[in-house]
Chains A and B, each alone.
Chain A
Amino acid sequence: MTQTQWAQQAQAFIAEHWPDPQQLTQPGSYHLASLRWYQALAECGWSVPHWALAQGGQNWPKQQLYQWQMLCQQAQTPPLNTLAMSVVAPMLMSYGSAQQQASWLAEIAGFAAHWALALLEPVNAQALQPTRLQQTDGGLVLVGAKRAMADGLLASTELASDALWPRWLLCLALDSTDTWTACVVSVDSPGLSMTPVANARGRWFHVAFDAVAVTNAEILPLRGDGLLAALADPAAGQDAILPSASSHGIAYQLQLLREDLLAAPHEDSADLLRQLSAAEVALQGLQALEIRAMAPTSAQLPESLPISVLRLKAEALQEQIATLQLASFGYYALPQAAGLSGHNEGPIDPRGSAAGDTALQTSQALAALAASDYGWDPRDLLARQRLGLGEPLVSAAQDNGESASRND
């Protein structure tokens, strides 16, 4: 199949399984369309096209994956990559046992269950001790507390809250030899309790482990520093991560923002348009980085560009856009989206916006202005892997076993 034929097939798939966004204005319609979309992706193996054939994927080359993402973003489909696909699955593929891969990879590829990452310690814990994996007479047990981030990509405000509940936790803990260990725990395990935590970015839970039993089959074989490095950047060293094409979504955001600024000019429009131009320059930069990440190595490009570079740049640009959005909304940056969900009177801002309700955009902008996805800074990994700078120094307090599990 030629590249053109494949692109036509992909476009036909999208057209068949994802409606025009203009048709999704009725309450519940987006959610229903999303469910059908994910089901269609899972049925034909296009949910994880970057995975190997043996693992249920399509083994598409990077260029094709990039084009696929671009087509999906142009059609405004729901996001392609879940937290489980981008973090858990690469860990399992690289470091999991055959049994672990068999247990969870197919489920992840099929969007069959939500996952949460229980990596971080709560800042308000009663004792500033990391979660422990203890050996008892009855076997291994988890003891402690975590802040877990759950998959939010499949979430919709129209979903019932129980539909968003994670089924599995990937939990980081110190074992009896003070070695970092990761295990997969069912949220239904006796002794485990979860409470939602309000957060400006993503969906977070407070998780308490009161002697939660863990079997050896649930513990990842990879431990210690190697585990931490793999968690910090699951893309490092393997291709199980869907390469980013976030510039296409961002380009659309900027286009809408430009339309808004030109439609209702005001005293500060010229300055905002200038800032918008700066964001558009940054967008060109992100596009160039994305193309570069897909390019083969050569004398000029002896090393592939790490995916974390794209992530850092995309996050910085989202932050830039969020700041610009809030500035352009003026006083209409104040209404809270959550407070409007109970009625059907439409947006508060009477001026209207090309991108829809400004209150919802404000909510998304606040999320973009908040911290990075997992609480990890990819710069730590880039410093080690690309600049050869070694492990950073940590304070004496952190050195006491808490450094790798940062407080949120």
Chain B
Amino acid sequence: MDFSFTEEQNMLHESIERFVQTDYSFDDRQKNAASDLGYDAGNWNTFAELGWLGVPFSEADGGFGGGAVESSLMMEQFGHGLVIEPYLATVVLAGGAIKHGGSEAQKAKLLPGIIDGSTQAALAYAEPQARFNLADVTTTASAEGDGWVLNGYKAVVLNGPAAQMLVVSARTSGEQRDQDGISLSVVDTKAAGVSRRDYPTVDAFRASEVTLEGVKVDADSVLGEVGKGYAVLEQAIDEGILAVGSEAVGCMEKLYKETVEYCRQREQFGQAMGKFQVLQHRMVDMFMEHEQSKSLMFMAAMRMDEGYGAEAQKAISAFKVQIGKSGKFVGQNAVQLHGGMGMTEELNIGHYFKRLTIIDTLFGNADFHLKRFGAL
């Protein structure tokens, strides 16, 4: 394994870094997060114009032809800026499910809208009783005529409020927790029988509870083979883990560097706080946690690009365990070293802390992935 990067990857990294540093202020981010939409449509258009929304899709599908490494490089930069635009939900999760499960015709129909920025999408996979088990699905898809009828309830659908298209996991056969018998369907959010309850999340994103009551979809809305959607879902979620984990790496870097800078300036007992050895050691530990997480990010991304299988899954779970542990450590220490103001709304530190805390929970926390790692 070799952690060296191509010229294209370096250019992609630099262009996103420049955007986040110069065009994505924390104040604007807060204003956009509080808007009706929950993000800035102008930024989304910029992402499309710069080709970022097509990064993980093949050139044949109209994308950039990038892989896991490119996605993680992007998300790391998004983590620096605490980017609020729904890249994860639309491109990585819903787009990922279509990319891995869809036929050529489905990809030709669905992906261009995602890549050009005209379609917002969401992956509706979680259910209230399921916790982190992707196979625990009670939503049903029953055959009716040439199509299917969906009934059920989907929990915490990220980007649900803005999505025009949902990719929904539903059971077409088998028992509640069987991996076999799960199918993925593409559902128009305006279809009859789809209702939502929208809400903000603690990290300033948006989500919905989605109820499906007799929602009719065509046969060609099912992604891939009927009953074989679990593998597609698992791969899309693992790509989601790599994405949010990379975002967490960016968040951690921002937090430890801002904390170091703060401690160099802030004086206590007549000295800069950064002069105290015990605080220096704590900041070095934050630096170490970040470096450790970043190294595992590269390893996980490269394993994914080598081919999706048990080794890649293991690397992803190891990465998620590390992110959970390191994110908590870096976030808590950043808040503590900033004192009470660390959790005030006007300072960005608390917002990074909240995002890191939520990232640990997303797609299974550190405990869940430690168990998965041991079982693989």
On A, residues with C-beta under 8 Å from B are 273-274, 276-278, 280-281, 284-285, 287-289, 291-292, 294-296, 298-301, 305, 309, 312-313, 377, 379-380, 382-383, 386-394
Closest Cβ of chain A to B172, distance in Å, is 34
A residues in contact with B315, CB < 8 Å: 284
Q: Given A277-B370, A389-B263, do A285 and B295 touch, yes or no (CB 8 Å)?
A: yes
B291 touches which of A274, A289, A299 (Cβ 8 Å): A289
Closest Cβ of chain A to B24, distance in Å, is 18
Closest Cβ of chain B to A396, distance in Å, is 13
Q: Are A380 and B280 in contact (CB under 8 A)?
A: yes
Q: Are A389 and B275 in contact (CB under 8 A)?
A: yes
Q: List 19 A-B contacts (CB under 8 A).
A: A274-B374, A276-B374, A278-B321, A284-B299, A285-B292, A285-B318, A288-B295, A291-B1, A292-B291, A295-B3, A296-B4, A299-B5, A300-B13, A301-B5, A379-B280, A380-B281, A382-B288, A389-B260, A390-B275
B residues in contact with A292, CB < 8 Å: 3, 291, 294-295, 298
Query: Residues 1-27 of chain B: 1 if any A CB is under 8 Å from the residue's CB, otherwise 0?
Result: 111110001100110010000000000
Q: Given A273-B374, A305-B291, A388-B264, do A288 and B298 touch, yes or no (CB 8 Å)?
A: yes
B residues in contact with A294, CB < 8 Å: 3
B318 touches which of A281, A390, A393 (Cβ 8 Å): A281
Closest Cβ of chain A to B17, distance in Å, is 8
B373 contacts the other chain (CB 8 A): yes
Q: Are A298 and B292 in contact (CB under 8 A)?
A: no
The listed residue with most B CB atoms (<10 A of its CB), out of A277, A312, A377, is: A277
Q: Are A393 and B276 in contact (CB under 8 A)?
A: yes
B118 contacts the other chain (CB 8 A): no
Chain B interface size, as a band, is 35 or more
Closest A residue to B326 by beta carbon equals A285
B residues in contact with A276, CB < 8 Å: 374
B residues in contact with A278, CB < 8 Å: 321, 370
B271 contacts the other chain (CB 8 A): yes
A residues in contact with B13, CB < 8 Å: 299-300
User: How many angstroms from the CA of A392 to the CA of B17 in the assembled complex?
Assistant: 33
A residues in contact with B288, CB < 8 Å: 309, 312-313, 382
B121 contacts the other chain (CB 8 A): no
Closest Cβ of chain A to B45, distance in Å, is 26
Q: Are B1 and A392 in contact (CB under 8 A)?
A: no
Closest Cβ of chain B to A157, distance in Å, is 35
A residues in contact with B373, CB < 8 Å: 277, 280-281
A393 touches which of B17, B73, B277 (Cβ 8 Å): B277
Q: Are B296 and A295 in contact (CB under 8 A)?
A: no
Q: Are A392 and B318 in contact (CB under 8 A)?
A: no
B287 contacts the other chain (CB 8 A): yes
On B, residues with C-beta under 8 Å from A are 1-5, 9-10, 13-14, 17, 73, 260, 263-264, 271, 274-277, 280-281, 283-285, 287-288, 291-292, 294-296, 298-299, 314-315, 317-318, 321-322, 370-371, 373-374
Q: Given A387-B287, A392-B280, do A284 and B4 touch, yes or no (CB 8 Å)?
A: no
Closest A residue to B300 by beta carbon equals A288
B residues in contact with A313, CB < 8 Å: 288, 292
The listed residue with most B CB atoms (<10 A of its CB), out of A289, A386, A389, is: A389
Q: Given A274-B374, A281-B322, do A288 and B299 touch, yes or no (CB 8 Å)?
A: yes
User: How many angstroms from the CA of A301 to the CA of B298 in the assembled complex?
Assistant: 11
User: How many angstroms from the CA of A338 to the CA of B276 in the assembled complex?
Assistant: 42
Q: Are B10 and A299 in contact (CB under 8 A)?
A: yes
Closest Cβ of chain A to B43, distance in Å, is 22
B residues in contact with A388, CB < 8 Å: 260, 264
Q: Are B10 and A298 in contact (CB under 8 A)?
A: yes
B322 touches which of A285, A301, A393 (Cβ 8 Å): A285
Q: Are A295 and B4 in contact (CB under 8 A)?
A: yes
Q: Are A393 and B321 in contact (CB under 8 A)?
A: no
Closest Cβ of chain B to A259, distance in Å, is 15
Q: Are A392 and B275 in contact (CB under 8 A)?
A: yes
A residues in contact with B287, CB < 8 Å: 382, 386-387
User: How many angstroms from the CA of A284 to the CA of B370 in the assembled complex?
Assistant: 13
Q: Are B5 and A379 in contact (CB under 8 A)?
A: no
A residues in contact with B317, CB < 8 Å: 281
User: How many angstroms from the CA of A281 to the CA of B366 in the assembled complex?
Assistant: 11
The listed residue with most A CB atoms (<10 A of its CB), out of B274, B295, B374, is: B295
Closest Cβ of chain B to A48, distance in Å, is 26
Closest Cβ of chain A to B209, distance in Å, is 34
B residues in contact with A379, CB < 8 Å: 280-281, 284-285
User: How many angstroms from the CA of A281 to the CA of B318 in the assembled complex?
Assistant: 5
A288 touches which of B17, B283, B296, B371 (Cβ 8 Å): B296
Q: Are A382 and B374 in contact (CB under 8 A)?
A: no
The listed residue with most A CB atoms (<10 A of its CB), out of B276, B285, B292, is: B292
User: How many angstroms from the CA of A92 to the CA of B5 in the assembled complex?
Assistant: 36
User: How many angstroms from the CA of A298 to the CA of B296 in the assembled complex?
Assistant: 17
Q: Are A309 and B291 in contact (CB under 8 A)?
A: yes
Closest Cβ of chain B to A388, distance in Å, is 7
Closest Cβ of chain A to B327, distance in Å, is 14
Q: Are B292 and A382 in contact (CB under 8 A)?
A: no
User: How many angstroms from the CA of A288 to the CA of B302 in the assembled complex?
Assistant: 11
User: How many angstroms from the CA of A15 to the CA of B296 in the assembled complex?
Assistant: 33
User: How many angstroms from the CA of A287 to the CA of B17 in the assembled complex?
Assistant: 27
B residues in contact with A287, CB < 8 Å: 299
> What 8 A-B pairs have minimum CB-CB distances, sorted nearest first?
A288-B295, A392-B277, A277-B374, A295-B3, A383-B280, A379-B284, A288-B299, A299-B10
The listed residue with most A CB atoms (<10 A of its CB), out of B9, B17, B277, B294, is: B277
User: How many angstroms from the CA of A274 to the CA of B366 in the assembled complex?
Assistant: 12
Closest B residue to A316 by beta carbon equals B288
Closest Cβ of chain A to B83, distance in Å, is 18
Q: Given A291-B295, A299-B14, A393-B277, do A387 and B284 touch, yes or no (CB 8 Å)?
A: yes
User: How many angstroms from the CA of A155 to the CA of B280 in the assembled complex?
Assistant: 36
B residues in contact with A391, CB < 8 Å: 275
User: How many angstroms from the CA of A388 to the CA of B276 in the assembled complex?
Assistant: 13
Q: A379-B285, A387-B260, A387-B283 are in contact. List 9 more A-B contacts (CB 8 A).
A: A274-B371, A281-B321, A284-B296, A291-B295, A295-B2, A295-B3, A379-B284, A387-B287, A388-B264
Q: Given A273-B374, A299-B14, A309-B288, do A393 and B271 touch, yes or no (CB 8 Å)?
A: yes
B residues in contact with A392, CB < 8 Å: 275-277, 280
Closest B residue to A393 by beta carbon equals B275
A residues in contact with B3, CB < 8 Å: 291-292, 294-295, 301
User: How many angstroms from the CA of A299 to the CA of B321 in the assembled complex?
Assistant: 26
Q: Given A277-B373, A392-B275, do A298 and B5 touch, yes or no (CB 8 Å)?
A: yes
User: How many angstroms from the CA of A390 to the CA of B264 in the assembled complex?
Assistant: 9
A residues in contact with B2, CB < 8 Å: 291, 295
Q: Are A281 and B1 in contact (CB under 8 A)?
A: no
User: How many angstroms from the CA of A4 to the CA of B14 in the assembled complex?
Assistant: 35
User: How many angstroms from the CA of A291 to the CA of B314 in the assembled complex?
Assistant: 18
Closest Cβ of chain B to A250, distance in Å, is 15
A residues in contact with B73, CB < 8 Å: 300
Q: Given A292-B295, A312-B288, A313-B292, do A377 and B274 touch, yes or no (CB 8 Å)?
A: no
Q: Are B280 and A389 in contact (CB under 8 A)?
A: yes
